[in-house]
Structure 1
Amino acid sequence: MADILVPIILKHLIKLGEYEVNLLLGVRDQVDLLESDLQFIKAFLQKCARRRNDPIVIELVNQISDVALEIEDIVDAYAARVIRERRRNLLGKLFHCFGHAKVLHGVANKTTRIMNRVENICNNKEKYGIGEADQPSVDDEEAEQSSIERRRNVDEADVVGFEKDTTTLIYQLTNPENLQLDVITIHGMGGLGKSTLARKIYKDTDVLNHFECLAWVAVSQQWQAKTLLLDVLKSFKQISDETSKKVFEELKDELHEHLKGKKYLIVLDDIWSTQVWEELRVAFPDESKGSRILITTRVKDVARHASPTPPHDLKILDENESWILLRKVVFRGRECPPNLEELGKKIAKSCGGLPLSIVLLGGTLAAEKKSHQSWLRFVANVNLYLKQGITCLTLSYNHLPPELKACFLYLGLFPEVSEINVRDFIELWIAEGFIQSDRSTSIYDVAEDYLEKLIDRSMIQVATKRLDGGVKTCRIHDLLRDLCIAESRRDKFFDIYSIDNNVSLNRKSRRLSIQSGESLDFDLPPRARSLFFFDDFVYPISKSSWKQIYKSTKFIRVLYLSRLEIRKIPSQIEELIFLRCLFIKDCKVDNFSSSIWNFWYLETLHLNFYGMGSLPKGIWSVMKNLRYLYVVVPRRDLDLRNIPRRSLMGKPFWNLQVLSWLHVNKNTAHVIAKFPNLRKLGLSFREEIMEEGEVEKVMASIRRLESLRSFKIRKWSAGRMEVGTRLNSLPSTLTKISLTYCTHCTPFDWEIFKVLARQPYLRVLKLATNDKPWVGHPPHELRVVAGEFPRLQVLKLRNLRIKTWKMEKDAMPNLESLFIHDDIKIMLENLPEDELLCRSTLQLVEVIGGFEVQDKLKTMLTDFKIKHPATPCKINITERYLPPVF
């Protein structure tokens, strides 16, 4: 664990010095000594990484962990005292505490004693077998880089051994002769691939086209009947505040009414209790429409209880199937060298036919050098771990480099079966100090690289992807989550509190995830640096809980509140003087205190809430170190109108890279000019009328953003969007543009489309109206000429009232994916066949209608698939509800 702790604590010490030059005044020498010692320890830990099972190394690493935590505690205590003193008295800037300096010196002495032992081992490296061979070679690094580039992420389409299962289950789901509501179950042990098989079937085109309504619900061991019903309803309609407040019986009736007269498929993934089915079954009507319920479970009694039809039992893979799967994961379409085949088969066999273990071991092998010697050493390790009773999961975790271990363990903080937003936990990784980058590389690029490495090693599963192919949400297998929790509790990395968790909390844990709506009836770990609260609006967070937060845990750097009812955020929250990252996400907030802006070191601020509360004034005071600002407040967007004049006249704020959603007004041009390093910007236009010269100033300020990659505009007000034709002056660095009209009163300005067609590096374009188009708006002819959109890969159009589409041969030459979504009857009569559908670059055309896909277009696309069976283009035509897209 020390290999994770030391770099994080080292970065924290360095950051303290960067934030405030005078913060450690009087003890700078001691802190410099600690930094030097920690740098030495870090180098040592890297050197002996492959000797993690050596008892001497284990003992030393445990001692290093304890000393590192003690260093962090004492430095934070000293810094907190300086900051509080300075707040009380301006003369406190010269504050010097000899007692703290003495304590710091004592810790340095302890570290020095550890250093002597480290140095002794390093001087006797031959005796202990720690040498140059433990360092990764250039070839190893090149092999890993090659592995990352090939992205060995096995998805549902690559799964081995499910061919017969897939065919059988799809037939059971779509059998036209069986019109009664039928419950089909998939049973098997953890890691066999039940959810993977169900997901593959759920995404199958024949299944999508067979059912009118489809819903996927993850159940898990911690479940609530009301939440499950809401999850089903979310698949069919947008959930209003009124609906979310309904009791279970009312929701059951609403779902039953919605499904009446429809042919539906509901997937209930990972049911552990028969009670779940008993609670939900009455919500699903049986009207002889051929509807189906698909259940996955590890518990055979659940499968037998839910359906008289025998469960579909998944079997472990045989040796040949195991080898085929391992080969796919490791080589991703390439041939396995003959000298590795025998070793590969041994490794596959050692996994006992469990697909999860094979995929995880394959992910680890994919990052290893493809040599006989490297694989021979790996085979020996596999046998050793299996003999000791340690699972393949632990083996995969142990082979992670330290910087990836911390990122991987962190995912265990989230509730079971969560689909985790990638952008959220990347911000959390950065705030925790897990991401190490130099000035030449963006910290976001490094974080995404870490994510890709974990996916490549099959430690993280991709749940959904963005339009540009990047990962949008991810999930972690429940067995891997159990591993995260076990490793973290042992090493005091984090702990979890929930109603069903009877394990006593470790008072030394650095992070705590509270997954219970009840008030805190226990003391929070005083050493905690991160607190997570997850709930489903069962109980409002109490005053006593708030008091625990700002009294018991004074050194919090990360505070994450999700789906909570917050009556008031108290003024005492300013006691969290080290707070770097604050998430208030999907919460109901009645009152904010202005003290929320009294955070000196805040880097990430994500406020997305509803209720009676509104954002207090004074946000400008936290801009100094802010890197990420996302604020969606009730009935309005982020308004930076009242900016202190001295702030506008002062130096730019170089750190801010993400800003969403900024309300556009007469002050916007000055605000944007203060953030020259923005990478992502979201602007929201409402009712305010701006003069022509003011709009031009806004666009001129955006033009100067040389690092801007993603630009989003959201228009709420009626009338023509003044900014439309001025988009021709956007920076050429943009790769993604999203434009959404949030009112049906305004027709889409197609001049914007022509302007954006000239963007040289644009890869993703989203154009939408969020409401149904007003019937008074005339239909439009979409025309794309040669040379327009030279690098566009993804085009998404929604509710734009397009009647005809004309396209020249060399227009959009790199288009890969086309999405046409509508909530009403689609007006589009055809798509250019030779100019668009037959081109080799196009991989996917997806047409979705809320109520009815136009027969002419549907017939044309169906006929095209029949006429061109060899085309690489995949065509999906679906009739189902679509939630709003911003």
Structure 2
Amino acid sequence: MCSSKLFLNLVSRIQLSKKANTLAETAVAEIQQANTFQKVSYSVPPQSAAIDMIRGGYMIFQSRIFTFNRIMEALRNPDGKMIGVYGMGGVGKTMLAKEVARQSVEDEKLFKKVVMVTVSQTPDLQKIQKAIAGQLGLKFDDSEEDKYVRAKGLHQGLGEEKMLLVLDDIWEKLALYEVGIAFGNDKNDCRIFLTSRSQDVVCNDMDADINFSVKELPLDEAKALFDKIVGVQSTKSPDIQALVIEIVKECVGLPIAITTVASALKKKAYPIWSNALQELRRSAPTNIKGMYKNVYSSIKLTYDFLESNEAKSLLLLFCLFPENMETDIEGSLGYAMGLESFQSITSLEKARNRVFALVDNLKASSLLLNVDCRDKVRMQDVIRDVVVFIGSEEHHMYNLRNVDELEDNKKRKSATAISLLSVKHDSHPLPERLECPQLVFFLMINQFS
């Protein structure tokens, strides 16, 4: 005879079994309909492989995976209209922004398009508007010189499809409505991702809904990055191995500093490594905003390691152009020839070949960046700050931000080169006469927006 208790258990099990089969069938149908799963995050790699994982050209560090995944989660949430990251210069914010943009569009299909522009320390409203317009496929007529007319056109363009707008390297508050960026109630759900060296700019000036800090690399990851760049052959010597940790420590966890020093020391002999550590520890003082004092010496070290004075002269010439500007290599050839930067050059063709060879050398030393066009180059902002300092201290080459700085008699009389980077239509007029007995180069940038 069967007990009633056993009978109830059998009925319950039959009901649960039918329910489980129904759920399984539903799950299979949904999986088939979805076809494939999208990538929703980066998994944490083993400690020893923290920088061996590379996706889309982006090097993944274990210490940053949690932050990266939180950023992606914030982008999936429609409530966060503006997301910001902040950290010191050279910490890797721009590379992080590029990877966020790539994964948002290519992997997760969160947006149909990404527009990325660099704002820089001295924002040029017209340049920013034209950069956004170019990526949207918009063209402004020559008559559309009024910034508000351009802003209206951009607002319409940004409202056409769901997109992510990346504003890189913001130093102060940027009036989005003046640019033409409006995202509050747009049905297209335009989102903004911004980067800055300053936490105050992200959190207070720009009032980002969500913000994240990008920190320096921990020592183990910094060393792993350093080792990856210099290679096994460079550190075979036990004497050099003893210097590696001390040199990496002096780079204060900044990928830009680690990369520049490692590139300079690759395949070098022990005396060069030993001297490098001494130079890094000297920590020359600078006025570079937001940088550790050691970063200056690490980048200057790479500059000092350049094998030719011609390469140094060309780098100093590039730093006279505006920040984040993509400098035309062919255009710089004329300036270099006029400054007599090359030795034993008798023809324009030979000078052109020399310039491109020097540019390749500077790229290999991590002092210049590649851009999409092979005939142009760009200097990373932290490196440019250091090279500007070197130029002013060692060669009396001055980057002036406005006409008022021309009133400095000491600078004028000692200057060998002057770059006047911001001459606006409403600024003080240029003096009728300048007494600059040592001057051999003068560059003036006009701004009319």
- The answer for unaligned runs of 5 or more in structure 1 is 1-154, 466-470, 539-886
- Which residue of 86, 91, 95 corresponds with 1:192? 91
How far apart are the structure 2 equivalents of 1:258 and 1:361?
A: 43
2:355 equivalent in structure 1 = 447
Length-normalised TM-score, structure 2: 0.72
User: Does the 8 Å CA contact 2:147/2:179 hold for their aligned counterparts?
Assistant: no
Q: Is the 8 A contact 1:217 1:231 kept in 2?
A: yes
Task: Give the 3-state SS of the residue equivalent to 2:169 in structure 1.
Answer: strand
Q: How does 1:139-218 map to 2 (within 5 A)?
A: 157-158=58-59, 160=61, 162-173=64-75, 175=76, 178-180=77-79, 182-204=81-103, 206=106, 210-218=110-118
Partner of 2:430: 520
Amino acid at match of 2:83: I
Alignment partner of 1:532 is 2:443? yes
Partner Cα distance (1:308, 1:496) in 2: 32
The correspondence for 1:499, drawn from 376, 384, 402, is 402
Offset at residue 196 of structure 1 (A): 2.4
Choose the corresponding residue for 2:149, options 250, 254, 265.
250
- Alpha-carbon offset, residue 315 of structure 1: 0.8
Work out whether residues 213 and 263 of structure 1, in 8 Å CA contact, stay in contact via their aligned partners in 2.
Answer: yes
Report if aligned partners of 2:115, 2:164 keep a CA contact under 8 Å in 1: yes
Question: In the superposition, relative to structure 1, how do residues 535 and 165 fare at CA in structure 2: closer, same or farther (>3 Å)?
Answer: farther
Check 1:166–1:435 CA distance in 2 against 1; reply closer, same or farther (3 A cut).
Answer: farther
Partner letter of residue 197 of structure 2? R
Identity %: 21
Q: Output the CA distance in 1 between the equivalents of 2:157 and 2:230.
A: 46
Partner of 2:20: none
Select the residue among 278, 301, 306 that pairs with 1:380. Answer: 278
From the superposition, tell whether residues 400 and 335 of structure 1 become closer, same or farther in structure 2 (CA, over 3 Å). Answer: closer
Residue type of the alignment partner of 2:276? F
Residue 408, structure 1, aligned to residue 309, structure 2:
no
Deviation at 1:520, TM superposition (A): 1.4
Structure-1 separation of matches of 2:327 and 2:108: 25
Q: Which residue type is aligned with residue 510 of structure 1?
A: T
Report the equivalent of 2:324.
417
Contact 1:180-1:287 at 8 Å conserved across structures: no
Question: Residue 84 of structure 2 contacts residue 202 of structure 2 at CA under 8 Å; is this kept in 1?
Answer: yes
1:295 aligns with 2:194: yes
Higher helix content, 1 or 2: 2
Matches within 5 A, 1:416-815: 416-436=323-343, 442-465=350-373, 471-499=374-402, 502=405, 504=408, 505-515=411-421, 516-518=423-425, 519-521=429-431, 523-524=433-434, 525-538=436-449
Q: Decide whether the 8 Å contact of 1:455 with 1:462 is kept in 2.
A: yes
Out of 147, 161, 164, the position equivalent to 1:262 is: 161
Residue 228 of structure 2 is aligned with which of 315, 328, 331? 328
Q: Per-residue displacement from partner, 1:617-636 (whole Å, max 9, x unpaired)?
A: xxxxxxxxxxxxxxxxxxxx
- Equivalent residue in structure 2 for 1:396, among 302, 310, 320: 302
Instruction: Give 1:453 shift.
Output: 1.3
Letter in 2 for 1:297: S
Q: What is the deviation of 1:183?
A: 0.7
Write out per-residue CA displacement over residues 343-382 of structure 1, whole angstroms, 9 at most, x where no aligned residue: 222211121112222122122213x52x344423333333
Q: How many positions carry a matched residue from both structures?
A: 372
8 Å contact from structure 2 (residues 83, 208) kept in 1: no
Distance 2:110 2:182 in 1: 21
Q: 1:238 to 1:429 in 2, by over 3 A?
A: farther
SS in 1 for 2:97: helix
**Aligned letter for 2:369?**
Q
1:219 aligned counterpart, secondary structure: strand
Structure 1 residue 263 displacement after superposition:
0.4
Q: Does the 8 Å CA contact 1:511/1:530 hold for their aligned counterparts?
A: yes
Report if aligned partners of 1:326, 1:348 keep a CA contact under 8 Å in 2. yes
Query: Which of 208, 211, 218 matches 1:318?
Result: 218
Q: Show CA shifts across 1:507-540 (max 9, x none).
A: 23222222213541364334432222222345xx
- Which of 200, 203, 208 is residue 304 of structure 1 equivalent to? 203
Cα separation, 2, equivalents of 1:438 and 1:243: 45
Q: Secondary structure at the match of 1:434?
A: coil
Deviation at 1:277, TM superposition (A): 4.4
Q: Is the 8 A contact 2:113 2:164 kept in 1?
A: yes
Query: Which protein, 1 or 2, shows the higher relative CO under an 8 Å CA cutoff with sep ≥ 6?
Result: 2
Paired with 1:517 and 1:281, the residues of 2 have a C-alpha distance of: 21
1:356-371 aligned at under 5 Å gives the runs 356-366=256-266, 369=268, 371=269
Q: Does the 8 Å contact 1:225/1:280 carry over to 2?
A: yes
Residue 253 of structure 2 aligns to a residue in which SS?
A: coil
Change beyond 3 A, Cα 1:341–1:164: farther
SS at match of 1:274: coil
Larger radius of gyration: 1
- 1:711-732 deviations in Å (ceiling 9; x for gaps): xxxxxxxxxxxxxxxxxxxxxx
CA distance in 1, matches of 2:432, 2:254: 40
CA shift at 1:301, angstroms?
1.9
User: Cα–Cα, structure 1 residues 485 and 373, in superposed 2: closer, same or farther, change >3 Å?
Assistant: closer
Secondary structure of 1:489's aligned partner:
helix
**By how many angstroms is 1:261 displaced?**
4.0
- Given that residues 357 and 392 in structure 1 are in contact (C-alpha distance below 8 angstroms), is that contact kept between their aligned partners in structure 2? yes
SS at 1:293 equivalent: strand
- TM, length-normalised to structure 1: 0.39
Structure 1 pair 500/297, CA: closer, same or farther in 2 (3 Å)? farther
